[in-house]
Structure 1
Amino acid sequence: MQDIEKRTTTKVIRRFLPILVVSFILCFLDRVNVGFATLTMSKDLGFSNTVFGLGAGIFFIAYFLFEVPSNIILEKVGARFWIARIMITWGILSAATAFVWDEWSFYAIRFLLGAAEAGFFPGIAFYFTLWLPSRHRGKVNSMFLASMPVASVIGSPISGWLLSLDGMWGLHGWQLLFIIEGLPSVFVAFVVIYLLRDTPEKAEWLDADEKAWLADELRRERENATALVPHGVLNVMKSPIILLLCVVYFGVTAFNYGISFFLPQIVRDFGLSFVQTGFVAAIPPMCGAIGMVLWGRHSDKHNERRLHVLLPLSLAAIGLGSATLVSVPVLKLAFLSLAAVGVFSTVPVFWVLMPSLLSAGAVAVAFAVVNSVGNLSGFVAPYVVGALKDATGSVNPGLQAISLFGFVAVALLAGIIRYQQSVARADDRPVRAKPAVS
């Protein structure tokens, strides 16, 4: 059993994970590179911090509106072509951001970009549930989601360098940034079409016994889950548990976008050049990427999800709040790195924990609902931080608000977990069944 398990999961991971990691790196880079672009774009176009915050965040309004429909379509038509469609449209629109001329064209292109990208992440998260037992998903989710901080680690120096090329080909540096970082997504989409398969049954590279083992493991896992949310779109939409999970994930992503969009401005205020800002701004996400992978592996090793979500989320709230209380650049950067480790370590385990709360038929819709509503913080957080910075001259009040909401998210998630444990005890079975090993 162990031999076929290792053989099957290794084949699946090696086939899909590398191209999906590359895809998500491009996705996240195209989503947040506006944070670097604004270092010169705002001056060239006359944008205030409030205009920038609104434009950066309006992406998530469209993301919210189109996320659930996108995931429903993905479940019906299959992930292979739908994910490729998402990548092609967002790549074109990201590159087109280079040609905005005022605040309204900026708002419009960011809205269209959000509509184009909607469904990508929850689609991939749902896709993993079709291919891997949950005991392998902590490691895989963490490696996949490490794409977010890795995108910043890679993208920050590149973005800083591109800004310094102002005037090349008659374009501003921020225009070069959007074009050069946007178009690769279009080309990678065709590799996705070539490599992905919609279900294990269509995987010609899996042996018959491997397909049978995988189908049996996934069926057993669904039967043993302590589901708090039944299947059906309406059941998911009206579930109090889903509503609370949306609020929790809103708090989680608020950290991510609060840091991602305003980190270049925070570091730039240290008195650094554009290129230096790019390298220094890569430090917190680099720490986050390392923490994310190690924490995901640790969660899989101990087959434990609850504390592996609550502890890093608490760490993120403490780190971000502390960063606002110090002025020494090294200390501020250290606390921001601590916050990055906390929030990036939370995300992959959160998405492994979620399916244990759901019936099998609710997973795709629930993933889309929680991700879309949670990502509205990508609209709220940049706008609030930008508006408060215009009002006070500092990003600290906005970041403090995000930190406080993080503690609220910790309390809510702890309550959900406690409730699930009580339901499991009432059913006289464990929350998570131990895998059978022979």
Structure 2
Amino acid sequence: MSTPNPPAIGSTNDPALKSAIRKASKHLMPMLVILYFVAFLDRTNVGFAEEALSVDRGISNGAFALGAGIFFIGYAIFEIPSNLLLKKFGARFWLARIAVTWGIVAAAFAFTTNDTMFIVLRFLLGVTEAGLFPGVIMFLSEWFPNKVRVQMFSIFYLAQPFSQMLGAPLSGGLISFGDALTPWHGWQVMFFAEGMLAILAGFAALYFLTNSPQQAKWLDQQEKDSLTAAMEREDTVRQSDGPTGIAKAMTSWKVWYFTIIYFCLQIAVYGTTFYLPQQVANLIGQDVGWQVGLVAAIPWLVGLFACYYVGRNANTVVRRRTWGTMFYISTGVFILASAWAGANNQPILGILFITIAVASFLSVGPITWAYPTAFLTGTAAAAGIGLINSLGNLGGFVAPIMRTGINESVPTDSGVWGVVSLGVFAFLAAAMLYCTRFFRGAKADELLETTVNRTAH
């Protein structure tokens, strides 16, 4: 009998590659999740302080809406430069730098005195955090092959539900008990404590992150070689299919196509997230505090399991496109349904609909990012991913202003029309993601599944 040939180095059947991926996931993903956990917490904890800032510092509704959204202006301006600097200095140092500087700004919110200071600090928070999310997306696309990348993205995305599931009662608790335990207002304690968490996470990143497989002391040489070979082969395919260099990435129609999809997603995400505590408070008839924090954690708890399940199982072309389209539609439908429940005084249904909407937009995020990382590599990836995330995240700027403006133009007790406006963009994203099936040439969704297989033999 003939002895079967050993699997090619870096192929999907190579035991060394599988071992390297398991070790990389174990060593890198917890730290990345912690970084995004704290980042998302510091982005959105302002929703818990909305009423207190108005009472204690006179922050107006207009200033709050502008401050909530202007974060994304600073974020957008510095996103691409930050991603290019990460490429130059390495993810380990640059992600740590981002965390420390945004933590300092986040803690400074404890000393907010007026509208202007609040808006300036929100802008600076965006400037200092710029590059974290796209930097991690690019970092993961350099460590994990396409076949498992959606799963890694979904693990990274778990930071969102974790931050809101744990952060919601944490933020609410700090506000509720801060006055009794410290000479500060509760909202000041919340901002300062959660800013310090980011600084600590930044220093921890210096210890736990590794720039590349060849630098990883926790991989043996065979594992390093196998993982490096797999990623190099994928880079070859991506270079032949996608743009090369910064200029071509910035003008690529595919990059702009996914920028629009991501923009629509972020309108739904942040239009819901910023106002979730107050929406829950209105539904259950309570002031924002410990009880509201616990109820507001429910959608994120369900979303955590949904995001992980979808990321783990969306590993075929059909599933990614079909599930992605389905979850965008579900996001829109249940955002609209939550508006109906609020307008008709249906608290249980309202919480249920919000929960399904949150689970849907959390599940579709990793699938969406799998497409551009299938055709972007090198400096093109740094620029293209930065562009998609920076301009896409402007949806977070548009959403609160749009929602507030519509509610003021068409005033209702429940603010139903402001919520309705968010759902419309989710339907547009669903149509655009479905239309990727008509892309000509080396389709992005095909690359997701076949890159390693077709180049390893």
Counterpart for residue 322 of structure 1: 337
Q: Does 1:357 align with 2:371?
A: no
Counterpart for residue 275 of structure 1: 290
Q: Structure 1's 228 and 107: CA in aligned 2 closer, same or farther, altered over 3 A? A: farther
Counterpart for residue 379 of structure 1: 397
Q: Structure 1's 71 and 401: CA in aligned 2 closer, same or farther, altered over 3 A? A: same
Counterpart for residue 120 of structure 1: 132
Contact 1:88 1:189 in 2 (8 A): yes
Distance, in Å, in 1 between the alignment partners of 2:393 and 2:100 is 21
Q: Structure 1's 342 and 79: CA in aligned 2 closer, same or farther, altered over 3 A? A: same
Q: Structure 1's 302 and 5: CA in aligned 2 closer, same or farther, altered over 3 A? A: farther
Contact 1:84 1:192 in 2 (8 A): yes
Distance, in Å, in 1 between the alignment partners of 2:44 and 2:177 is 20
- 1:53-80: CA deviation from partner (whole Å, max 9, x where unpaired): 1111110000000000000000011111
Q: Structure 1's 34 and 277: CA in aligned 2 closer, same or farther, altered over 3 A? A: same
Q: Does 1:299 align with 2:325?
A: no
Counterpart for residue 64 of structure 1: 76
Shift of 1:271: 1.0
Counterpart for residue 258 of structure 1: 271
Provide the TM-score with structure 1 as the length reference. 0.94
**Worse-matched range after superposition: 302-311 or 46-55:** 302-311
Counterpart for residue 129 of structure 1: 141
- 1:16-64: CA deviation from partner (whole Å, max 9, x where unpaired): 1111111111110011000111131222222333221111111000000
* Secondary structure of residue in 2 paired with 1:51: helix
Counterpart for residue 216 of structure 1: 229
Q: What 5-or-longer segments of structure 1 have no aligned partner?
A: none
Share of identical aligned residues, percent? 35
**One-letter code of the match for 1:397?**
W
**Worse-matched range after superposition: 175-184 or 306-315:** 306-315
Distance, in Å, in 2 between the alignment partners of 1:42 and 1:229 is 49
Q: Does 1:12 align with 2:27?
A: no
Distance, in Å, in 2 between the alignment partners of 1:303 and 1:20 is 29
Counterpart for residue 44 of structure 2: 32
Q: What 5-or-longer segments of structure 2 have no aligned partner?
A: 1-12
Contact 1:226 1:356 in 2 (8 A): no
Contact 2:146 2:448 in 1 (8 A): no
Distance, in Å, in 1 between the alignment partners of 2:325 and 2:40 is 24
Counterpart for residue 212 of structure 2: 199
Contact 1:257 1:382 in 2 (8 A): yes
* Secondary structure of residue in 1 paired with 2:441: helix
Provide the TM-score with structure 2 as the length reference. 0.90
* Secondary structure of residue in 2 paired with 1:24: helix
Counterpart for residue 433 of structure 1: 450
**One-letter code of the match for 2:214?**
E
Distance, in Å, in 2 between the alignment partners of 1:405 and 1:430 is 27
Distance, in Å, in 2 between the alignment partners of 1:77 and 1:229 is 24
- 1:199-239: CA deviation from partner (whole Å, max 9, x where unpaired): 11211221111111111111222334496641221112222
Distance, in Å, in 2 between the alignment partners of 1:245 and 1:367 is 10
Shift of 1:194: 1.0
Counterpart for residue 387 of structure 2: 369
Distance, in Å, in 2 between the alignment partners of 1:171 and 1:284 is 31
**One-letter code of the match for 2:107?**
A
